Amino acid sequence: MAGTPEDNEAIRQVIAAYAHAIDRCRWDMMAKVFHDDAEYGFGPVGGSWRDFVPQAQAIVEPCLATQHQLGQSMISYESEILAHTETYFNAVHTIPSGYRVTDVFPDKGKIYTAVIAGRYVDRFEKRDGEWRIARRSGLYDWREFREVDGVDLSQLPKGAGGQRDDRDPSTAVAAHWRS
């Protein structure tokens, strides 16, 4: 069964909203990404999506910066209200000295970059006319830790740094997704 172009776009928008929410620490957006009873599992993080949020906060918020780049998404429809997806991603995290969630990223005693390549394998369900994630399984394909010299995020050109609050220029873009 093939989904409609509108269904495909709605699903891709949910996947993109998730990446945006993680990178901008807009945790309130997750309520529109996941169904209330959704399950989440990725490495040491697991449980309901509501369990996932504080775990993700503990992992992401201490990072100096994060960025998730989404690759191709394959969408397979089981019915008009059930779809399975696989989305490739690369995620870059700038890890500070003294990082505490060492089962995710080790504390190397200095700033370094962690690069993760993997896939999100999702079960999407359309309920009350809205596609959302009902189950997410994250898979690591590989991880790499890169030591960097002289990281000074304060030295970015004026206007080049993103913010993790409503000072970020993307605030208006995310407005629909915020609860």
Q: Residue 90 sits in a domain of what CATH number?
A: 3.10.450.50
In a domain, 102, yes or no: yes
21 phi/psi in degrees, rounded to 5: -60, -40
In a domain, 108, yes or no: yes
Cβ-contact 49, 38 below 8 angstroms? yes
Q: What is the pLDDT of residues 108-166, one digit of tens each?
A: 999 899 999 999 999 999 999 999 999 999 999 999 999 877 666 666 666 566 777 78
How high does pLDDT run on average in the chain? 91
In a domain, 166, yes or no: no
CA 53 vs. chain centroid, Å, equals: 11
Q: How far apart are CA 10 and CA 33, in angstroms?
A: 11
Q: Is 126 helix (H, G, I), strand (E, B) or coil?
A: strand
* DSSP type of residue 7: H
Q: What is the predicted pLDDT for the residue at 101?
A: 87
Q: What is the predicted pLDDT for the residue at 172?
A: 80
pTM reported for the whole predicted model: 0.91
In a domain, 49, yes or no: yes
**Domain hosting residue 60, numbered range:** 5-154
Q: What is the predicted pLDDT for the residue at 20?
A: 96
In a domain, 43, yes or no: yes
In a domain, 162, yes or no: no
How many domains does one find in the chain?
1
Helices in the chain by DSSP H: which ranges? 5-24, 30-33, 49-60, 171-174
Distance between first and last Cα of the chain: 33
Token couple for 155: 């030295």
In a domain, 165, yes or no: no
In a domain, 170, yes or no: no
Mean pLDDT of 3-30: 96
